[in-house]
Structure 1
Amino acid sequence: MQIPAGKKIYFSSDNHLGAPTAAESLPREKKFVRWLDEIKEDAAAIFLLGDLFDFWFEYRTVVPKGFVRVLGKLAEISDSGIPIYFFVGNHDLWMKDYFEKELNISTYRDVKEFTFNNKVFLIGHGDGKGPGDKGYKRMKKVFTNPIFNWLFRWFHPELGMRLAQYLSVKNKLISGEDDKTFLGEENEWLALYAKRKLETKHYDFFVFGHRHLSMKIKVGTNSTYYNLGDWIGQYTYGEFDGNAFEIKTFEG
């Protein structure tokens, strides 16, 4: 994609809407909608890198209650012709085709390569990548197993949703979230993952979420890893203007 003059590409991650309660997450949802309203004026594309919701599971005819403001705003932006790309996170990994069918939002379940203005990006949520985090990696195999998904669907949605939402908030192994302490440039596991990827191919930018810490780490001579932070306490996002990538904070 060549970014038109005056346009930008925007990135955000880790809203965890619905946590710890619907009432407490509502102000954050409204703030995110204000950000979407602001960026739609010059957005060439919008990337949402997972964990938009603290829990999301799609039954055949049922989706989680709530989030009407953000879903309506995403539909409006998508209908206006601005492409939106969604990467499934560890909290919304049970997403199926609702976003694609209802909102016309492309949905991805693993990292994906994009090229903008001849700059090569590798983009994804980031969970389960790099060394370590073995407990979560094992748990993810269980959660994504078709048999587990089939069994969970037999729970009545009222029971299944309540149970999953409780565990999502309480259990760090299920959430896959590490301690929100910066590990140092030589130990951040997504930076190590980026360096490993550079052994076989050049990327200008690695853009991930999941860590809930905004960061910028040089991983190669002309390669940089960015983490987007979150929309819980940081309200940070990524902005690419066709040449430079920046992490910014939304104050609105």
Structure 2
Amino acid sequence: MQIPNGKYIYFSSDNHLGAPTAEESLPREKKFVAWLDSIKHDAAAIFLLGDLFDFWFEYKTVVPKGFVRTLGKLAELRDAGIPIYFFVGNHDLWMDDYFETELNIPVYHKPKEFTFNNKTFLIGHGDGLGPGDKGYKRMKKVFTNPFSKWLFRWLHPDLGVRLAQYMSVKNKLISGDEDAKFLGEDNEWLVQYCKRKLESKHYDFFVFGHRHLPMEVQLNDTSKYFNLGDWINYYTYGKFDGEKFELKELDPKS
């Protein structure tokens, strides 16, 4: 993609809509929808890098209740011709084809390469990448197993969604102390993942979410890693103008 003059590519991650309750989540959702509305005039594309919802599961004919403001705004932007790309996170990993069929938004379950104005990107949510965290990686294999999804689908939505929402809110990724500070390049596993990828191929930018902490790390002379932060504590997002990638913070008055 070549970005037209005066246009930008925007990146957002980790909204966790619905957490810890629908009522407490609503002000954050309204801020997110207002932000989407504010960028529609100059957005060449929008990337949503996972955990948009604190829990999401698609039954064959049912999706979780709520989030109509967000879904309606995404539909409006897509209908206006703005490309939107969605990467599932660890909280909405049970997303199937609802976004694709209802909103015409492609859904990705793994990191994907993109090129904008001859700048190469590797983009994804970030969970389960890099060394360590073997417990989570084993758990993710169980949760994404088709048999596990089949078993869960047999629960009535009122029971299944309520149980999953309870477990999701308890997840340490929402408020864990380990997400409150930069751990150093040697201990940031996404930094290590990016450095390993650079051993076999050049990327100008790595952009991920999941970590809940805004970060900009210079990997070498020509490559940078960015983590987008979240819409719980930081209200940060990414903006690319064709040459430069920046982390931006939502105006607190918004």
Structure 2: gaps (5+ residues): none
Supply the AA of the counterpart residue of 1:46. Answer: I
Aligned to 1:179: 178
Instruction: Kindly indicate whether the alpha-carbon contact (under 8 Å) linking 1:84 and 1:105 is maintained by their aligned counterparts in 2.
Output: yes
Aligned to 1:67: 67
**2-structure distance, mates of 1:220, 1:142:** 36
Residues 91-122 of structure 1 show CA distances to partners (whole Å, capped at 9, x for unaligned) of 00000000001111011000000000000000
State percent identity of aligned pairs.
77
Structure 1: gaps (5+ residues): none
Give runs of aligned pairs for residues 84-95 of structure 1, distance below 5 A. 84-95=84-95
Q: Tell me the secondary structure at the aligned position of residue 115 of structure 2.
A: strand
Aligned to 1:118: 118
Give runs of aligned pairs for residues 1-252 of structure 1, distance below 5 A. 1-172=1-172, 179-180=178-179, 181-251=181-251, 252=254
**2-structure distance, mates of 1:178, 1:136:** 17
Supply the AA of the counterpart residue of 2:231. Answer: W
**1-structure distance, mates of 2:222, 2:171:** 38
Residues 145-188 of structure 1 show CA distances to partners (whole Å, capped at 9, x for unaligned) of 01100000000000000000000111438x89772121012321
Bigger Cα displacement from structure 2, 25-34 vs 129-138:
129-138
**1-structure distance, mates of 2:177, 2:45:** 30
Instruction: Give runs of ≥4 in structure 1 deviating > 6 Å.
Output: 175-178
**1-structure distance, mates of 2:236, 2:169:** 22
RMSD between aligned alpha carbons? 1.3
**1-structure distance, mates of 2:18, 2:182:** 26
Q: Tell me the secondary structure at the aligned position of residue 155 of structure 2.
A: coil
Supply the AA of the counterpart residue of 1:100. Answer: E
Change (3 A) 1:109 1:10: same
Bigger Cα displacement from structure 2, 73-82 vs 180-189:
180-189
Supply the AA of the counterpart residue of 1:49. Answer: L
Q: Tell me the secondary structure at the aligned position of residue 172 of structure 1.
A: coil
Q: Tell me the secondary structure at the aligned position of residue 135 of structure 1.
A: helix
**1-structure distance, mates of 2:175, 2:82:** 31
Q: Tell me the secondary structure at the aligned position of residue 220 of structure 1.
A: coil
Instruction: Kindly indicate whether the alpha-carbon contact (under 8 Å) linking 1:110 and 1:124 is maintained by their aligned counterparts in 2.
Output: yes
Q: Tell me the secondary structure at the aligned position of residue 197 of structure 1.
A: helix
Q: How many residues align?
A: 251
**1-structure distance, mates of 2:211, 2:235:** 14
Change (3 A) 1:124 1:84: same
